[in-house]
Chains A and B, each alone.
Chain A
Amino acid sequence: MSDTARPAIEMAGVQKRFGSTEALRGLDLTVPAGTVCGLLGPNGAGKTTAVRVLATLVAPDRGTVRVAGHDAVRDAEEVRRAIGLAGQHAALDEGITGRDNLHLFGRLHRLGARRARERADELLTRFGLAEAGDRLVRTYSGGMRRRLDLIASLVTSPPVLFLDEPTTGLDPRSRQEIWNTVKELADGGTTVLLTTQYLEEADRLADDVVVVDHGAAIATGPPARLKAAIGSQVSVTLADPAQLAATAVVLSSLSGGDARIDLAERTVTVLTTPGVSVLLPSLVRELDGGGIVAEDVAVRRPSLDDVFLALTGEGATREGATREGATQESAATGRAA
C-alpha cells in the first residue's frame, strides 16, 4: 500500500436508483493498487450494481467513479481497456469451443488474429484447460465453465479485475481452484475487487473487506480488524446444572458481556466486549476457585460470519455502534483459541 500511488479503484458518494429501488445510496470505496478488496453483503445489498458501475455497464446517478486512473463515466473507453470482468454467469458462447471463445475475446481486445490465438493457447495451458480447449463449452462442467470465464477476463492481463461472486454454486474443489488463481493474480500485482456472500472467501483472499448493506458501506477494514471489533465467543459446558448461575457470574465478570444460560445444553455462553480478551488459563482458574466442574471450555474467535451478522442482521443503532468498533485497533482475539 503506497501513499503516493493513486488507488486503482475509487468510488465516492455513488448513488444509483432503478425505478423505485435505491441500489446504491452513497457508496464509498477505495482499493489501493495491487490489493484484493472483498465486497461483502447480503443479496440485494448493491454489490452487483457496484461492480456494474465500476465496469462501465451502468452509469451512476451521482458520485464519482475512477478506475485505473480514469473516470468511469467520461473515459469509459479507457476504463474498458484496463479492466477484466467475470460476472455471476459463465459469460461464454456455449456453441463454440473454449479455445475459440478466448480467441474471439482476444480479437475483440485487438490483439490481432495471430496473437489472440497464441494468447488463448497460453491461458488454456497455464490454467489446466489445454485438453478441454477444443471441446464445445456446452460440454464443460460448471467448474470448468467458471474457470474459463475467469480466464476470459484475463486475455489482456488487465491491471484491474472485477469478479462478481466468482465461486457461487461451485463445488469445494472448483472453488479452491478459483481461489488459487485469484491469489496468483494478486501476487502478480493485479488489483482485484470481488463480491461474495462467502465470508470464508473474503477471509482467504481479501486484504480489505467492505461490508455493504442497503447500498452503502457499513464497515471497512482488514478481515482481522473487523473480527476483532466484535469480540470472541466463550462457552462453558457443565456437568452439574446447579452450577450454571455461578458460572454465568464468572463469565460475565471476566468478559464484560452478558452471559446467556442454556439449560438444556448445560452451557453458559458469552460474547466478549470488543477489546477485552478472555484468557483460557485465567478462566479455568476462576472456575476452579469457585468449585465449578467444567466438561468443556471453548473460546471461539469470531468468524467473518459473526461480523457479517452483527453488522447486517440488526438495527440502525447497532450498525452505528459496530462501525465505530470496526475502526478501532484491537488485539482482543486470538490468544485464547
Chain B
Amino acid sequence: MATAVHPVAAHPAARPSAGGRLASDTWTSMLRVLLNYRHSPGLLAASLGVPVVMVVVFGYVFGSAMRVPGGGDYREFLMPGLFAMVATNGIMPTMVGAARDVGRGVTDRLRSMPVSRTGLLLGQTLADLLVSVVVLALLALVGLAAGWRARHGLADALGAFALLLLFRFVMTWAGTLLGLAVGREEAAGQLSVVVFPLAMVTNAYVPTGGMPGWLRVVADWNPISSVVEAARELFGNPAAPGSAWPMQHAVTATLLWSAVLLAVCGPLAVRKFATHGR
C-alpha cells in the first residue's frame, strides 16, 4: 500500500449556510434510518406485523368478553386505542437506537464532525415518522377489515391521523432524550418495563369508568388517553369519556400535551446530544 493518502482532494466544499446544513444533515440522517430498514426486513415485518396481531388479540380474544358502556362495537372502540398504541410504542425503537449510538461511540463520532445537531436528530425523528405513516395505514386497513369505520368523514379522519402522527413525533423526541440519557442499549431495553404500564393505564383498551378512583385519575390525565379520546371523537367511534377535563376536551388536551412534551423533550434532546459526556 504505497499510495499516498493525501493527494486525494476530498476536502469539504465551501461552507454552506446554517439552513442548508440543517436540511442536508436532516436528509442524510433520514437516509441512514431508512437504509437500516431496507437491510432489516425483519424489523419492517415486525413493525407491520404488530398491528395485525394487536387487532386479533385485543379485538377478537379480549374483545369477545368486552362490553362498551353505552353500547357500541368493542372493535370500533378499540381501534383508536390501537392507533394510539402504535404511536406510543414507537418510543421504544427510537430510545434503543439512540442508546445504541451512544454506546457504540457513533454519537461521539457524529459530534466530532461539523454537523448540525438538530438536523441529525430531526432526520431520525422524521424517518421514524415516515415508517409510522406506513404502519398506521396498514393498521387502518386491518381495522377496516375488522369492521371499524371512520364515521365523521374524511376531514375529521385525516385530523385524527394528524394528531396521531403528531403524538408519534413527540414520542420520538422523548425516546431520543431517554436513549441519550440512558446511553446503554440493554438499559434502554429495560425501560420498556416503565413504558408498558404507562401505555396500559389508559382508556385505550377499556373505559376508565370501572377503574378504582385513583387509577382512573391517572388514566384520564395520561396524555395517551387524550390522544385515544380525540381519535374516537374524530373517527366517530364509540367512546365512554369520563368527566375529567382532558377527556371532555380531548383534541385540545392532545395538542397541549404534545406542545408541552415537545417543548421540553426537543431542546433537551438536542442539548443532551450536543453536550453528551460533559
Interface residues in chain A, defined as those with a beta carbon under 8 Å from any beta carbon in chain B? 52, 55-59, 77, 80-81, 83, 85, 87-97, 100, 104-105, 107-112, 115, 119, 122, 126-128, 136, 152-157, 180-181, 184-185, 187-190
Return B1 CB to nearest CB of chain A, in Å: 6
Instruction: Give which listed residue, A87, A97, A109, contacts B113 with CB less than 8 A.
Output: A109
Q: Which residues of A contact B5 (CB under 8 A)?
A: 126, 154, 157, 184-185, 188, 190
- In the bound complex, CA of A185 to CA of B115 (Å): 25
Q: Kindly list 14 other residue pairs between chains A and B, CB separation below 8 angstroms, not including A93-B36, A96-B32.
A: A57-B108, A80-B112, A91-B108, A95-B39, A96-B35, A104-B31, A107-B24, A112-B13, A115-B10, A126-B1, A157-B10, A184-B5, A188-B4, A189-B6
- Identify the interface centre among B1, B4, B103: most chain A CB within 10 Å of its CB: B1
Over the window 22-65 of chain B, the binary record of Cβ atoms lying under 8 Å from chain A Cβ atoms (1 yes, 0 no) is: 00110010011001100110000000000000000000000000
Question: Is B3's CB within 8 Å of the partner chain A?
Answer: yes
Q: Which residues of A contact B12 (CB under 8 A)?
A: 81, 109-111, 156
Considering the complex of A and B, which 8 residue pairs feature the smallest CB-CB distances, nearest first?
Answer: A91-B105, A89-B105, A91-B109, A95-B36, A80-B114, A188-B6, A85-B112, A107-B28
Q: Which of B103-125 contact A (CB under 8 A)?
A: 103-106, 108-115, 120
B104 touches A91 (CB 8 A): yes
Return A146 CB to nearest CB of chain B, in Å: 12
Question: Is B194's CB within 8 Å of the partner chain A?
Answer: no
Q: Which residues of A contact B115 (CB under 8 A)?
A: 108
Q: Which of B84-120 contact A (CB under 8 A)?
A: 103-106, 108-115, 120
Q: Which residues of A contact B70 (CB under 8 A)?
A: none
Nearest residue in A to B40 (C-beta to C-beta)?
A95
- In the bound complex, CA of A104 to CA of B124 (Å): 13
- In the bound complex, CA of A17 to CA of B276 (Å): 15
- In the bound complex, CA of A83 to CA of B36 (Å): 27
Q: Which residues of A contact B6 (CB under 8 A)?
A: 157, 188-190
Q: Which residues of B contact A181 (CB under 8 A)?
A: 1
- In the bound complex, CA of A112 to CA of B277 (Å): 30
Instruction: Give which listed residue, A52, A83, A136, contacts B277 with CB less than 8 A.
Output: A52
Return B35 CB to nearest CB of chain A, in Å: 5
A156 touches B108 (CB 8 A): no
Given the known interface contacts A108-B28, A126-B1, A136-B39, the answer about A83 and B112 at a Cβ–Cβ threshold of 8 Å is yes
> Size class of B's contact patch?
35 or more
Q: Is the interface of A mostly helix, strand, loop or mixed?
A: loop
Question: Is B212's CB within 8 Å of the partner chain A?
Answer: no
**12 A-B contact pairs sorted by A residue (CB < 8 Å):** A56-B112, A57-B108, A80-B113, A91-B109, A93-B32, A96-B39, A107-B28, A107-B31, A111-B12, A157-B5, A181-B1, A188-B4
- Identify the interface centre among B4, B35, B103, B109: most chain A CB within 10 Å of its CB: B109
Q: Which residues of A contact B113 (CB under 8 A)?
A: 80, 105, 108-109
Given the known interface contacts A107-B28, A157-B8, the answer about A55 and B112 at a Cβ–Cβ threshold of 8 Å is yes
Q: Which residues of A contact B114 (CB under 8 A)?
A: 77, 80-81, 109-110
Nearest residue in B to A78 (C-beta to C-beta)?
B114
B112 touches A89 (CB 8 A): no
Q: Which residues of A contact B10 (CB under 8 A)?
A: 111, 115, 119, 155-157
Q: Is the interface of B mostly helix, strand, loop or mixed?
A: loop
Q: Which residues of B contact A154 (CB under 8 A)?
A: 5
Instruction: Give which listed residue, A85, A100, A111, contacts B35 with CB less than 8 A.
Output: A100
A89 touches B36 (CB 8 A): no
B13 touches A104 (CB 8 A): no
Q: Which residues of B contact A105 (CB under 8 A)?
A: 109, 113
Over the window 247-267 of chain B, the binary record of Cβ atoms lying under 8 Å from chain A Cβ atoms (1 yes, 0 no) is: 000000000000000000000
Q: Which of B1-22 contact A (CB under 8 A)?
A: 1, 3-6, 8, 10-13, 16, 21
- Identify the interface centre among B36, B39, B40: most chain A CB within 10 Å of its CB: B39
- In the bound complex, CA of A6 to CA of B10 (Å): 23
Return A7 CB to nearest CB of chain B, in Å: 19
Q: Which residues of A contact B111 (CB under 8 A)?
A: 56-57
Q: Which residues of A contact B25 (CB under 8 A)?
A: 108
- In the bound complex, CA of A127 to CA of B8 (Å): 14
Return A103 CB to nearest CB of chain B, in Å: 9
Return A250 CB to nearest CB of chain B, in Å: 51
Instruction: Give which listed residue, B11, B40, B103, contacts A156 with CB less than 8 A.
Output: B11
B8 touches A122 (CB 8 A): yes
Nearest residue in B to A157 (C-beta to C-beta)?
B10
Q: Which residues of B contact A185 (CB under 8 A)?
A: 5
Given the known interface contacts A96-B32, A110-B24, A180-B1, the answer about A57 and B277 at a Cβ–Cβ threshold of 8 Å is yes
Given the known interface contacts A154-B5, A157-B11, A190-B5, the answer about A89 and B39 at a Cβ–Cβ threshold of 8 Å is no
Given the known interface contacts A87-B105, A115-B10, the answer about A58 and B278 at a Cβ–Cβ threshold of 8 Å is yes
Given the known interface contacts A59-B278, A157-B8, A188-B5, the answer about A110 and B13 at a Cβ–Cβ threshold of 8 Å is yes
Return A100 CB to nearest CB of chain B, in Å: 6
- In the bound complex, CA of A227 to CA of B104 (Å): 36
Return A83 CB to nearest CB of chain B, in Å: 7
A97 touches B28 (CB 8 A): no
Return A295 CB to nearest CB of chain B, in Å: 46
Nearest residue in B to A96 (C-beta to C-beta)?
B35
- In the bound complex, CA of A59 to CA of B274 (Å): 11
B105 touches A88 (CB 8 A): yes
- Identify the interface centre among B3, B35, B103, B276: most chain A CB within 10 Å of its CB: B35
